[in-house]
């Protein structure tokens, strides 16, 4: 079915003038719906191979956005389908949803320290806003940021060798590099089992481009709420730094240029601690440097497993794309690991 008919299934105002591709997400297909009415809209095809439970996905998003709106803050606004009143619609083949396009907003692929500080404050604030949500939210992707699961998926991919890529010497070398850190990186799951680390409602995809700014650099709102679910705060802290503190993009083939920027770390951490300190426990704060290492590591494992599996999960632009992403994230992991002592010193200094 064409996107025009799909968009018309939702309760949008005005006549549709144009529908065109929007953004560069790796998971869903996104379009901008231009109208002659007061608002434009964002139309998305939900990737149900990844988000298998659309009802739960939209339940989480509806509860969270309603809660945030009830506190007088700007958040995404999903439009009901005319026929069912639900915030998604299926044309029999795909699942679709529509939200109001946020006007005069900008997203960035990179940020300077000043913007990182605002992002830290905003993501900490976002978690604080959701800390007292009365509804029960589920995991839209079960065990999404569970490192034990990701490590197991890599072992399974290696064993199955579905794309015949294990014969490549570089693949063997990367595996040898990653494996020794597996146990250390699964610390969060152990702390959780010991009952000392809580799960909270987190965003779980705090890439820098999931934050909207106005023209003067003020944060407008956090977007891309699909992975909003109970998780460790490490998810939001670590994934932001994974994208923002890297000196290059996550798929830049120039691995020698990859580094973990301490200026970004410091600015973001300062902002994050300012707004999140109201609910963070000492064990969460103490492990933020671990989180900064965990996310490049986990992403390396995920890209690598996908490469070995024959690129079944992430959209790729060329055959080696997932291998290039893996190399980049492995380099970032090592860079972050070296800076753990400096990270600890900085956190101790802002806590005082």
Q: Which of 9, 22, 34, 50 binds ligand GN1 (CB under 6 A)?
A: 50
How many secondary structure helices (H) and strands (E) does the chain include? 13, 9
Part in contact with Mg ion (CB under 5 A); list of ranges 115-123, 170-178, 220-228, 317-325: 220-228
| From candidates 40, 127, 139, 205, binder to ligand GN1 by CB under 6 A | 205
Pick the closer one to Mg ion by CB: 224 or 239: 224
Contact between 113 and Mg ion (CB under 5 A)? no
Q: Which tokens is 198 given?
A: 């809580």
Helix (H, G, I), strand (E, B) or coil at 185: helix
Which of 294, 178, 286, 302 lies closest to 236, judged by CA? 294
Per the DSSP assignment, residues forming a β-bridge with 45 are 29, 96
Residues 245-284: x where in contact with ligand GN1 by CB under 6 A, - otherwise, as a string: -----x----------------------------------
Q: Retrieve residue 290's tokens.
A: 């671990």
Which tokens hold the place of 254?
A: 């120039």
Dihedral of the alpha carbons of 118, 120, 209, 15, in degrees to the nearest 10: -60
Give the CA radius of gyration of the chain.
20
- Contact pattern from residue 41 through residue 60 relative to Mg ion, giving x for each residue in contact according to CB under 5 A and a dash for the rest: --------------------
Applying CB under 6 A, the site for ligand GN1 has a residue count of: 10
**Residue among 178, 166, 41 nearest 96 (CA):** 41
227 contacts ligand GN1 (rule: CB under 6 A):
yes
Rank residues 28 and 65 by Cβ distance to ligand GN1 and give the closer one.
28
Residue holding tokens 């490192």? Answer: 147
CA distance 289 to 200: 19
What sign does the dihedral 153-157-162-163 (CA atoms) show? positive
**Pick 261 or 325: Cβ nearer ligand GN1:** 325
Q: Which of 189, 224, 239, 284 binds Mg ion (CB under 5 A)?
A: 224
Is 100 near ligand GN1 (CB under 6 A)? no
Give the nearer residue to ligand GN1 in terms of CB position, either 127 or 139.
Answer: 139
Segment interacting with ligand GN1 (CB under 6 A) among 20-28, 63-71, 129-137, 165-173: 20-28
Task: Check binding of 139 to ligand GN1 (CB under 6 A).
Answer: no
Among 14, 25, 182, 253, binds Mg ion (CB under 5 A): 25
C-beta of 204 vs 267, nearer to Mg ion: 204
Smaller CB distance to Mg ion: residue 11 or 109?
109
Each as own residue / partner, the long-range contacts of residues 343-347 (CB below 8 Å, 24 or more positions apart, any chain) are: 343/262, 343/265, 343/269, 343/288, 343/289, 343/292, 344/289, 346/262, 346/265, 346/266, 346/269, 347/269, 347/273, 347/285, 347/288, 347/289
Is position 202 an interface residue for ligand GN1 (rule: CB under 6 A)? no
Tell me which residues touch ligand GN1 (CB under 6 A): 25-27, 50, 205, 207, 224, 227, 250, 299
Tell me which residues touch Mg ion (CB under 5 A): 25, 210, 224
């Amino acid at each position: 079915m064409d996107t025009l008919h799909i968009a018309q299934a939702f309760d949008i105002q005005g006549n549709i003038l144009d529908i065109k591709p929007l953004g560069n997400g790796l998971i869903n297909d996104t379009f901008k719906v231009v109208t002659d009415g007061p608002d434009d809209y964002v139309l998305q095809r939900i990737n149900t191979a990844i988000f298998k439970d659309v009802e739960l996905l939209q339940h989480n998003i509806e509860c969270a956005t309603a809660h945030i709106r009830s506190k007088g803050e700007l958040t995404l606004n999903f439009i009901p389908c005319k026929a069912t009143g639900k915030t998604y619609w299926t044309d029999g083949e795909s699942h679709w949803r529509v939200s109001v396009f946020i006007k005069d907003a900008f997203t960035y692929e990179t940020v300077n320290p000043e913007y990182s500080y605002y992002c830290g404050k905003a993501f900490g604030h976002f978690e604080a806003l959701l800390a007292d949500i009365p509804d029960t939210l589920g995991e839209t992707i079960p065990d999404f940021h569970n490192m034990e699961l990701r490590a197991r998926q890599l072992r399974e991919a290696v064993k199955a060798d579905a794309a015949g890529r294990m014969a490549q010497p570089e693949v063997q070398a990367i595996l040898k590099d990653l494996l020794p850190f597996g146990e250390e990186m699964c610390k969060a799951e152990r702390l959780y089992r010991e009952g000392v680390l809580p799960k909270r409602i987190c965003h779980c995809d705090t890439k820098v481009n999931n934050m909207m700014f106005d023209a003067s650099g003020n944060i407008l709102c956090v977007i891309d709420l699909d992975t909003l679910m109970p998780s460790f705060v490490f998810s939001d802290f670590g994934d932001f730094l994974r994208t923002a503190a890297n000196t290059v993009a996550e798929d830049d083939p120039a691995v020698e240029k990859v580094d973990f920027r301490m200026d970004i770390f410091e600015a973001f951490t300062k902002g994050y601690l300012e707004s999140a300190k109201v609910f963070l426990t000492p064990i969460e704060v103490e492990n933020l440097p671990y989180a900064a290492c965990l996310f490049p590591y986990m992403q390396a494992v995920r890209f690598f497993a996908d490469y070995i599996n024959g690129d079944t999960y992430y959209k790729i632009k060329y055959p080696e794309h997932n291998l290039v992403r893996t190399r980049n994230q492995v380099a970032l992991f090592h860079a972050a690991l070296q800076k753990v002592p400096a990270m600890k010193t900085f956190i101790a200094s802002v806590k005082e």
